[in-house]
Structures are given as C-alpha cells and as structure tokens.
Structure 1
Amino acid sequence: MIIACPACSTRYVVPDSAIGVDGRTVRCAKCRHSWFQAGPELPPREEPAAAQAPVTTAVTEPEVPAASVEPVPEPPVVPRPVVRPAARVADETFDEAPSSFDHQPPFRPRRNMAKVWTIAGVGFAVLVALLVALATWLGLPSWLPTAHGTFGSGNPDLVLAFPSERQDRRTLPNGTEYFGASGTVTNVGKQPQEVPPILIVLRDAKDKVVYTWNVAPPRELLKPGESVTINEAVTDVPKSAKVAEIGWKPE
C-alpha cells in the first residue's frame, strides 16, 4: 500500500503486512511527524447466491440443483512505483541517508593549555621586568614600607660608635625593664658638620621591632676631629627586646 504524510505529503510504499488490519502509528522520515495509519481496506465478502427453489410443473421431471455463483477474482492491482525510501513502521523514525549538503555546526578546536600558560608566563615576566625598570629609574614610591630603611644614610664624615659592651640591659629590683647605651659621635672630616638625631631600635628574637626612641645629640655642630659622648637610658622597655640597633634617624 502507499501511505502519505499528512504534514509534508511525502509518500512511501510499504507492505500491507507492515501496517496490519488494525493500523498502527508511523513517523515521517522527512519532517518527523507521527500519525496513525489505518490498515488496508478489505474487499467485501460476497455471499453465494441463494439456491433457487425448484419449479414444479405438471410434468414430473427430476429436480435439477441450482448452480452456485462463484465470485470472479479481480485482477491483481499492480502498485505504481514511487521513488521514495521505504518507511520503517512501528513507532520508528524514518531515517534518510545524511546528505553531504546538510548544514554542519562549525568546528571548535580544543584549547592548547600548555600554549595558554606559556603566553601567560611570558606576559607576567614582561610586566615584572617593566616594573623593575620603572622602580630603578624613578625609585620606589614613598607609600611603600620598604621605600625607607630603618635608619638614615647619615653623613660619611660623622662616625657613630655605640659598642655592644657599653650597652646595659637588665631588670631593676622593682621589676622595671632597663636599657642603657653609651657611645660617641666623631667628625672625621675637614669641615664642621651638623649632628643629626640618633635613633635607637630594640628588636625581639624574631627580629621584629618592639621599641624605638629618638636621641637628640648634646651638640648640634662638631668641628673637624671633634667628638661628643652620648649616654642614654630608658625604662619600661618590652621584655621581649633582645637586640639593640643604633643609627641615624631617617629624614
């Protein structure tokens, strides 16, 4: 039998046995539409002609049986060939061979992660090199904690000497922590030099600054070859203070 899709009118040639007498659900391979296809119509059954009643006449003759009428078989119907792929029935999709002209999604190549990381590393190295060059040329900004050291550079003609043996660190009888230091400042140059303030820094065992104080020199100006002695002491220093550092106060 020949069936046609009610949605797109595509026609298919299928055997009667595939549809069955009761019909079944089929699906179009072209538009994917599903519908219920009724079974083939059966030819009506022809009842044999009723036997004719015998006719009695005055003349007695033997009864002749009535001739039975047999249906004449109809000539077979030759189906017209339809150039379509045969439909696959029973809730299956009619699949057609894929065409080389069908639209295909664009190909997306996989990312090469090694290449991506290499490019990122090169970019980071270039950025670091640029920052180092700028810091070398312009100097570090003042807001950075490493822009200034703990001590100032001072004057090379002024020699600051606070030997460790002249530093005193002890606990007083009343429990107060005491620290004292004694040293000298000498002008080794050939010109009078101004003496800047002195900075004393106390650090703990982890090299962390725990206490600082400024020392004003007893003399603000030293002549060439002249020295001045400085004696300083402070109480209530932290108990964690272990090391003392003495230098010029930064500007």
Structure 2
Amino acid sequence: MILECSQCRTRYLVPDSAIGADGRTVRCASCKHSWFQAPAILDLATRAEPEAPPPRREPRKPAEAPAPATPPRVFEDASVQAPTAPEYDPFAPQPPFKPRRNPARRWTAAAFVAGFSMLLGTGAILYSGAPGLAAQLGLGIGGEVDTPLVFADKNVELRTMTNGNEVFAVSGRIVNPTTTKQHVPDIRVELRDGSDRLVYSWRITPMGRELGPKSAIDFNGARVGLPPNAKVVQLSFASEIGG
C-alpha cells in the first residue's frame, strides 16, 4: 500500500503486512510528522481468476528396437582363411616416442641469449662513444685523453639565483689547431681546495664529437650546491668511458 504524509506530502510504498490488520502509528522520515494509519481495505468483490489447468502430457512412445546386427561372415571354403587379429606381444619392441620438452630449460636458454645480446649491445654503445653514457652508469676505465685540442677563452663564474642558490658556471671554447679533423672527447671539470685535494668533479658533453681543422666549438656547464672549500678549477679532456 502507499502511505502519504499529510504535512509534507511525502509518499512511501510499504507492504500491507507492515501496517497489520488493526492499523498502526507511523512517522514520516522527512518531516517527523506522526499519524495513525488504518489497515488496507480488502476488495471482497473481486474474484480471483481460476488458475489455468496444467498442460497435458503426451504419453511417451515406446523406444524402437535396435536394428539387428549384421551376422558375421562365414567362410565355407576350407582353402580360404579368415583374417585374424595380430597376437599381442608384451615384450615386443615399441616404436620410439618423442621425448617431452622441458619448458624451464627453454626459458633458461632464452634468458641467457637475451642477456648476452644486451651485454653485446652495451659494449657496442660504449665502444662507439655514446656521450656521457658510460660515466652515468659508472662503467669504464677513466683517465685523461691525449689529444691536440686545446681550451681557449675559459670563463668561470659564480652566480646567485633568485631563490638564493649559487650556481657555478664554466664556459669556453675548444680549438683544433691541427690541419686534420679531430675527435672531441668529454670535458672533465675538477674543483680542488687550497691543498690541491679534489673535492668535486663532473663532466661536460661537447656540442659535437667531430671538430674540423683550424676550427673551434663552444662549451658550457653549470652546477649548484658545490663544496664551499673549492678554490681551484681545472679543465681537461677525459675518456668517454668511466670516471
């Protein structure tokens, strides 16, 4: 049955059994108004429709008898031998079977091949001189490079940013004084204290790896948060592999 609050006109759908045959006091959940709800009025004039009779079940047909099997062939001529099944010998050699593959062994072999390929690829990248990659990975032998290239117009500057941090900037030019094309290695920046002890270092990747004869290219690099005891700056050409 449907209940309607007389105050806020909120309607509720509740089962007849919740009100009962004698009625009960109910309360609106919206405005908290309470009233007595009379039970639902039974409609005795409406007659229930008769139920439809169950469907008639057809009698089951008897199952048909299976067709008679074909009688075995009888060989009347004694000179004709009936075919016989080969005798089973449990000790006879069996045909060879394919060995079952071991999936774990296949995955191990695939992982080994993939790891070996990655090792070869890394070696090829390091050998070809990928800029700064070996230094970032911590691989290689390090050391300075013997090259005819020289530094020119070197400039060291300590700048203060708007947020108060100090930026140490290094710039200059790399000059090729020879008449042949030269390979440009990485630039190593070393900061040393008053006792010539190394306190900080980093690498600068050049703008190009090849420098023509009698030509030059610019370089620059910067770092923040350097040690306060750094007093001397040294520039050198370093190996592209390692430290």
TM over 0.5: no
TM-score (norm 1): 0.36
TM-score (norm 2): 0.37
